[in-house]
Structure 1
Amino acid sequence: MQSADVTHEQHENPLQNVTFDAPGTETGHAHGYLRVPGSGTGPGVVVVQEWWGLTDQVAGVVDRLAAEGFVALAPDLYGGRTTHDSEEAFRFMQELPPERAARDLAGAVTYLLERPETTSAAVGAVGFCMGGAFVLALAAQQGERIAAAVPWYGIPGADTDYSGLRAAVLGHYGEEDTSVPLEGVQATEARIREQAGVEVTMEVYPAPHAFYNDERPNYRAESAELAWGRTTAFLRGRLAPRA
């Protein structure tokens, strides 16, 4: 395992505080934002960013998970770039090769599992929008290394192969979300059940897309807090300690 502190001068994004191996990428490593709970140990959770990048809001999710007792890591999939402009965010997302993201995220899973602070035998994965789609794809690729997958208002392509998925799935979606229609969510749920045979729960809220992001106008506090409570209970129930 490779781990190193990253100074603010070395990288564009000051939130980056760890470096980890990402085999198969151009550099062989990736960066991210890690928080360990005050107790010093806890189950591991990978947090996958929205299309805005590794922002303060994403770091806030990591911080909040750490406060709940989890060892949480958000990989920086954009290599330090962030934006608050939707056109630029779309461009960043389009410029991110899916295979590069998959390798960065796989590296993050390995990194968490190898950290001495991580108590769980497998990790959880939580992601938002673009990150929600990545969470389901990652869980399908990583098999038993991911025990709990929590996508928020994001789904992968309709042809995604879920046969390797071993994680229980808890999804959070808004009935007012025009970018992720509920028909697509229902089709994804059915495909996961058919191909993987795992526990799947897709919760629907009276909310639009991105209802958890309190930096955006679509934020809905009541739905966000209900979904958050369900998420932490789900993670605690699925992330068993190492034997």
Structure 2
Amino acid sequence: MGGEMIKFSDGSHEHDAYLSPSKTGKGPGVIVIQEWWGLVDHIKRVCDRFADEGFTALAPDLYHGKSTKEPDEAASMMQALNIAHTEAILRKAIMTLMVNPATEGEKIGVVGFCMGGQLALFAAGSNPVIKACVNFYGIHPNVEPSYRTLSGPVLGIFAEHDDCVDPELVKAMSKELTLLGKVHEFITYPGAQHAFFNDDRPEVYDAAAAADAWKRTIRFLKENLR
């Protein structure tokens, strides 16, 4: 890993996060939000990949040190999240990233996967400093983002064969964003499955779709954060 674990406080509690500073010395800040598995090595490697592209990436640990490889346990951990508390953690993580010496500029991006995709939209709607949001097949039944208060465009990355994300919900989201005048682009990858970006899960990983989604993500963030 190219980054390191750090601690930050929300005023009453300390939290852990993985920080990967830009390999160029300084770069735009990107918050990376975990899947329902926890802050696992895959998410840390994603942060390192952002650092290689010139961004400074921070992934807060929303499960307080816990992680799992079991779907049932992951679902329980996701459902147990206190959304108000999670919002406070994300808000402080954004502030922590903004004041980091390796972060450049006042625009922050947010990228989330699965559970984190929905939380990325939630964070973007709650924090006007976020000027670009990337939602990888986001899902969380208890999170309702505020699209009206988004301060930047949204890139949505979805899979054709996704048992977790209903295509009709994706269409409805796009329609609502359009009605609100919010700039967005949604991409659905033919043949891909939910979590196709996670190269630690060979049963669903799609190398071609993941590579294209990564290129789109980097281009989107560079266009909107620099």
Q: TM-score range by the shorter chain?
A: over 0.9
2:84 alignment partner AA: E
C-alpha distance after superposition, 1:106-127 (max 9, x if no partner): 1111111111221121110000
More strand by share: 2
Equivalent residue runs for 1:192-231 within 5 Å: 192-195=177-180, 197-206=181-190, 207-216=192-201, 217-231=203-217
Which position in structure 2 is the counterpart of 1:164? 149
Which position in structure 1 is the counterpart of 2:110? 125
Give the counterpart of 1:101 among 86, 102, 108.
86
SS in 2 for 1:90: helix
Q: What's the TM-score once normalised by structure 2's chain length?
A: 0.93
Q: Distance in 1 between matches of 2:213 and 2:46?
A: 13
Give the counterpart of 1:91 among 76, 81, 94.
76
Q: Distance in 2 between matches of 1:89 and 1:202?
A: 27
* More divergent stretch after superposition (97-106 vs 78-87): 97-106
Q: Distance in 2 between matches of 1:18 and 1:57?
A: 17
Give the counterpart of 2:37 among 35, 43, 52.
52
Which position in structure 2 is the counterpart of 1:9? none
SS in 2 for 1:122: strand
Tell me whether 1:175 sits opposite 2:160 in the alignment. Answer: yes
Q: What's the TM-score once normalised by structure 1's chain length?
A: 0.87
1:149 alignment partner AA: C
1:98 alignment partner AA: I
1:33 alignment partner AA: Y
Give the aligned length: 221
Which position in structure 2 is the counterpart of 1:61? 46
1:17 alignment partner AA: M
1:128: how far off?
Answer: 0.2
Tell me whether 1:187 sits opposite 2:172 in the alignment. Answer: yes
Question: Tell me, which stretches of 5 or more residues in structure 2 are unaligned?
Answer: none
C-alpha distance after superposition, 1:59-99 (max 9, x if no partner): 01001111111000000000000100001101111111111
Q: Distance in 2 between matches of 1:116 and 1:226?
A: 31
Question: Following TM superposition, where does structure 1 have runs of at least 4 consecutive aligned residues deviating by more than 2 angstroms?
Answer: 155-161, 192-195
1:45/1:72 contact within 8 Å kept: yes
SS in 2 for 1:225: helix
Give the counterpart of 1:151 among 132, 135, 138.
135
Q: Distance in 1 between matches of 2:198 and 2:105?
A: 28
Which position in structure 2 is the counterpart of 1:7? none
2:211 alignment partner AA: E
1:18 alignment partner AA: I
Q: Distance in 2 between matches of 1:31 and 1:86?
A: 23
2:130 alignment partner AA: I
Tell me whether 1:233 sits opposite 2:201 in the alignment. Answer: no
1:38: how far off?
Answer: 2.2
C-alpha distance after superposition, 1:149-193 (max 9, x if no partner): 000001466954322111110010001112102111111122223
C-alpha distance after superposition, 1:2-48 (max 9, x if no partner): xxxxxxxxxxxxx961112324xxx4332100011222110000000
Cα-Cα RMSD: 1.6
Q: Distance in 2 between matches of 1:56 and 1:161?
A: 30
1:127/1:151 contact within 8 Å kept: yes
C-alpha distance after superposition, 1:199-221 (max 9, x if no partner): 10011102110000011111100
